[in-house]
Structure 1
Amino acid sequence: MTHDTHDSRGTHGTGFLDTTRTFYDAIAEDYADLHRSTGAGTPLDRALMGAFAELVGPQGEVADLGCGPGRVTAHLASLGLRVFGLDLSASMLEIARREHPGLRFEQGSMLELDLPDGSLAGAVSWYSSIHTPWERLPDLFGEVRRVLAPGGHFLLGFQVGDEPLRLDRPFGRPVALDFERRQPEPVARLLEEAGFTVLSRTVRIQEEDTSAKVPQACLIARR
C-alpha cells in the first residue's frame, strides 16, 4: 500500500514512504483478515472496475499500484486483464502471493516505477494514493502517465473529504498513519495538468451495508 514524515528533500520528501511501509508491514495480517470478506468492494465499485476493464481490454498489461493483499488485483484478473500487483509492504505482498499464487506481485513505489515508458495499457490506484502528500500527487500522476501507453487508462479511488483520518495503534499495533481525504474536483485538475483526460468522475455516498463513513470517489482518466 502506499504513502507523513519530513526529510532533507523539502517539506514532503520520501519519508512518508517509510512510514507507510512500516505501518502496513505491522498490520498486514489484521488488515487482510478484516477485508477478506469484502472482496473487490461494493457492486458500484465492481461496476466501475468492469468499465475500466472494458476500456483497457485484454491485450496490454495493467499494474495494480498499492495492491495490498491483492484482492483488487485478483478481481481485475477475473475480468480478463493481464494484471500484476505492486506494493511497498513486504508483508502485504507475502499475503498476496500466498492467497493469489497465480498472479505476479512485486515490491516498489508508485513514485518510482521500474517500468519502461509507455509499457502499460492501464494502471489502478485503488485507495493507495491516500498516504501521498498533496504536494507529491503531481509526481505520482506524472509517473503513472509516463508508464502508460498513449490511450492507456488510469483508475483512481479515494475517500472524499477535507480533513485526514488519523489511525493510531490500529489492531493494537504500535504504528500510526494519516489517511488523506480529498475532493474529486481538485484531484481531477491535477490529473489534467499531468496530461490526462478525465473520462468519468463518480462519487458514491455511504451505503447502509458498508463500513464507509464518508463518500467515496472514483476517477477514470485516459492518457
Structure 2
Amino acid sequence: MQNLMPIFIETLFGFLALFILTKVLGKTQIIQLTAFDFIAALVLGELVGNAIFDDKAGIIEIAFAVLVAGIVLYLTEIITQKYKGTRSLLEGQPSIIIHKGKLIREEMKKNKLDINQLQHLLRSKDVFSISEVEYAILETDGTVSVMKKSIHQTTTKQDFNIAPKTIRLPITLINDGEVLWDNLKEVNLSEGWLEQELTKQEFHSVKEVFYAEWNEGKGELFVLPFTEKET
C-alpha cells in the first residue's frame, strides 16, 4: 500500500508534464501527427512509463526525461521551419495517388496503400466511387484530400426541383486482377456479363484489370487497367 502513493504522484506528474509539453509544442490534434511525431509520442510514453515503475527513478528523473525529449522535439520543429530540405525527411511529403482520374499505382505501392484502404479513406470524405475523383492526395498525417470531377461537384437536385432517386453504393467486382465472386452474385450479375462488359472496353482478360466497380445507379462498369492502354 505504501508503494501506491509514489506511483500515483509520479503518474500524475508524468501526465501533467506530457500535457504541458504537448501544449508548448502545439500538438493539439492527434490526427495531425506525422510519422516523426508519432514515434516521439511513443518514446515519451515509454520514458515516463519506465520511470514510474523504476524504484530508483523519481519526479526529478521523470522531469529530466520529459525535458530532454521536449528539447529534441522543439529543435526538430525549428529545423523543419528553417531548413525546408529537412521537411520531407522528418515530416514526410504528400503523395498524389489519383491524377486526372487515374490511379498512380507506384505511389500507392510506395506508401503501402491498397485499394481497400484507399476506398476507406475516400468514404471518410463522402466519396463512394473512385470514378468520381479527379485528384486525390495522401497527406503526411495519413488522411486523403479529394477533388471531385466537375460533374460530381456541388449542385443539388433540390436547386432544380428534381425528385431524388434511390442511391446505391458502387460494388467492387475486380480487385487486383481477381474477380470478387460474392460481390458479383450480390448484384445478380454473371461471369458472362462481366466478360462481355470487359470486351466492350477492350479488355481480353480479367488479369488485365487492376480494379473494376459496378455502379447500378449509372448502369456502368468503371474499369482501371494495370497499365494505361496505348492510344
TM-score range, shorter chain: under 0.3
For the pair shown, the structure with the greater C-alpha radius of gyration is: 2
Give the structure-2-normalised TM-score: 0.21
Give the structure-1-normalised TM-score: 0.22
Structure with the higher fraction of residues in strand conformation: 1
Structure with the higher fraction of residues in helix conformation: 2
